[in-house]
Amino acid sequence: MSMTSAEKDPHTLAAEAAGTAVTPEEAMAGRDVTLLDISDPQFMATAYDTYNELRDKERISVVRFTAGNQDADKSDEQKKQRSPREEFFNRESFFVTHYDDVVSTLLDDRYVVDPRSMMTPEQRAAAEADAPEEFRPLSRSLLSIDPPDHTRIRKLVQPSFTGRGMEAMRPAIQQVADTLLDRAEADAAARGETPGNRQMELIRSFAYPFPVAVISNMLGIPPEDREQIRGWTENLLRVDRGRDEAMNEQVRQGLKDFTAYLQDLFERKRRHPDDDMISRMVVATEDGDVLTEEEMLATVFLMYLAGHVTTVNLVGSGVVAVLSHPEQEELLRNDLSLSKNLVEETLRYWGPVDFIGRRFATQNIELEGEEIPRGSQVAVSLGAANRDPEKFANPDVFDITRADANRHVAFGRGIHVCLGAPLARIEGQIAFETLFRRYPELRLAVPVEEIMWSNNFLRGFRQIPVLF
Ligand code: HEM
C-alpha cells in the first residue's frame, strides 16, 4: 500500500525530494552503531570517554540517540505522529567528533537544519498541516530555520546582541547578581548561619534565576510582570522537552496565555517604544523590514529556551570545576581577572552543549574520505571537538590559564553560531568574579563525586550545595 505524503515521515520525504539513490540507512548498514542514551543518569559522567573512543577509532561515527525505551510501546499511528524531536531519537545519525570536521561541517552550506527545506512545496504543506497552532512559533525560531528566512530574521535580531551593547548591560547584570546573593545571605542569616558556614544550593538560589532576570531585562519585560511570566517560561521548557507532555491541556493553555501576554506587550511597546529588544523588534516591523508577529514570538521564546539553562550550566559547571581543582582556585583567588578565561575554559572543558543534533545533508557530501548521502542526519559533537588532542594540548586537563581556551566551539560556528555568546560571556564573568570576590570561603558542601550531572540534552549539574 502506498502512503500519501501526509503519512510519510519528514526524512523519507526529504530523501525522496532530494532524489537520493543510496539512502542514508543503506550507507550506514553494517557500521558499528554507538547508542547514546541521554536519559541514562551516567550518560554525561562517561560521555567524554565515549567521544574520545569514537574520535580515536574513526573519522566519522554512526550513533543512535535514545532517551530510554520511550518508543517501544507506541502504536504505528503514534509513531507517525512523532515530533521532529522524537524523530531525532529514532534513526541512526552520523556523528562528527574531530575538531576540524566539526568546524567544516558547521560552516558547510550544503547542510540545512530544517528537513522541510528539502521538500517540494506540496510535501511541505502536508507536513505542516497538522502541527498545532500554538506550537508553530516554537518550530519557526532561528535555530530551526534555513536561509533565506534565517538570514532576514537574524539580521533584524542581531543588533540587540553586539559586544558593545552587551558591555552597556554590565551594571544591570551586576545588580541582578548582587541582588540574588543579598537574598541568599538574608535567608542564611534568618536561619542563624554565620559567614563561612552559610548554606546555599547554588543552582536554585543563584545560577537558575540569574539569566532569566537578565533576559527579561534585555527584552523589556516590565518588572511588575516578572512573577507572572516565570510560570510561562518554565512551561516553555516543558514544551521543548517533548510533545507528549506538551499535549497536556494545561501546558498548551500556558503557551496560549504567554502568547496572548506577549501580543499585548508588543502592542504596548509599539505605542510607547523603549530602549529594549522587544521595542526594537516591533519598530523594525513598522519600518517595513519585515518581522512578522509569529517571528517575534518565536524570537522571544528562543531567548528563554536558548539563553536560560545553557547559562545556568556555564555558571554551575565553572564553580564546580574551580572548587574541585584547588590549584586553579588559588590562581583565581589571587587574580580575579582570570574570571574571563575561566569562562572560556569552562566552555571548553564542560561546555553546556555536548552536541548539535540536527543537520541534514542536501546533497552527497564527502568528509575526509567518507561519503555522507543526501538526506542523512548529521550530529556534530562540540564536546568531542573541545577535547580533541589535535587541537588542545592535554585536553582533559582543566586549566584556567590555557592561552587558547577561547578556540573552543561551545557556541557552534557558521550561520547559526550562538547569537547570545557576548551576553553569556559577560554573565559568566560577572557571576564568577562576584561569587569569588564576595565569598573567600566558598566551597562545596559535599564531596564532588556526589554532585550529579542532569540527564537531559544539556551538560550541567542538578544541584550544587555550597557553603559560603
Ligand atoms: C553558555 C551559554 C550558551 C551556550 C553554550 C550556547 C550555545 C549555543 C549553540 C551551540 C548554538 C548553535 C546551535 C546550532 O548551530 O544549531 C546557539 C545558538 C543560539 N543561541 Fe546560544 N548559547 C548560550 C547562551 C545563549 C544566550 C544567553 C542567548 C540569548 C539570550 C542565546 C541565544 C541563542 C540563539 C538565538 C541561537 C540561535 C542562533 C541561530 O540559529 O542563528 N544563547 N547557542
pLDDT digits (tens, 9 = 90+) for 114-150: 988 888 888 878 777 766 677 778 888 999 999 999 9
Contacts of 399 (CB under 8 A, 6+ apart): 328, 345, 405
At residue 3, the pLDDT reads 42
- More confidently predicted of 272 and 117: 272
Is residue 280 classed as helix, strand or coil in its secondary structure? Answer: helix
At residue 80, the pLDDT reads 53
Cell numbers placing 278: 522587544
CB 409 within 8 Å of CB 380: no
> What global pTM score does this model have?
0.92
Helices (H), 191-272: 202, 209-219, 226-241, 243-246, 249-271
Residue among 113, 310, 381 to mutate when testing ligand 1 (max atoms within 8 A of CB): 310
Helix (H) or strand (E) holding 282: helix 277-286
Task: Write the burial class of residue 19 (CB in 10 Å: 0-12 exposed, 13-18 middle, 19+ buried).
Answer: exposed
CB 358 within 8 Å of CB 380: no
- What is the overall mean pLDDT for the chain? 89
Cell numbers placing 450: 556526589
Across the range 199-221, mean pLDDT stands at 96
| Weakest-pLDDT range from 69-78, 200-209, 230-239 | 69-78
- DSSP, residue by residue, 394-455: STTS--TT-TTGGG--TT--GGGS-TTHHHHHHHHHHHHHHHHHH-TT-EESS-GGGPPBPS
Nearest C-alpha to atom 18 of ligand 1 is from which residue?
A: 418
Give yes or no for residue 6 having a pLDDT over 50.
no
How many degrees, rounded to 5, is the angle at CA 405 between CA 401 and CA 406?
Answer: 125
Q: Is residue 221 very low, low, confident or very high in pLDDT (cuts 50, 70, 90)?
A: very high
**Type of residue found at 132:** P
Domain ranges of the chain: 5-467
Residue-wise pLDDT tens digits, 342-353: 999 999 999 999
Residue-wise pLDDT tens digits, 374-411: 999 999 999 999 999 999 999 999 999 999 999 999 99
Nearest C-alpha to atom 30 of ligand 1 is from which residue?
A: 307
Contacts of 350 (CB under 8 A, 6+ apart): 317, 318, 321, 459
Strand partners, 366: 371
Please name which of 325, 303, 139 lies closest in space to residue 212, comparing C-alpha atoms: 303
At residue 52, the pLDDT reads 98
CB 210 within 8 Å of CB 315: yes
At residue 1, the pLDDT reads 37
Protein residues whose CB sits closer than 6 Å to any atom of ligand 1: 142-143, 154, 215, 302-303, 306-307, 310-311, 314, 351-353, 356, 410-412, 416, 418-420, 423-424
5-467 maps to CATH 1.10.3720.10 = no
Half-sphere exposure of 336 toward its Cβ, with a 13 Å CA cutoff?
13
Give yes or no for residue 5 having a pLDDT over 50.
no
CB 424 within 8 Å of CB 311: yes
**Type of residue found at 334:** N
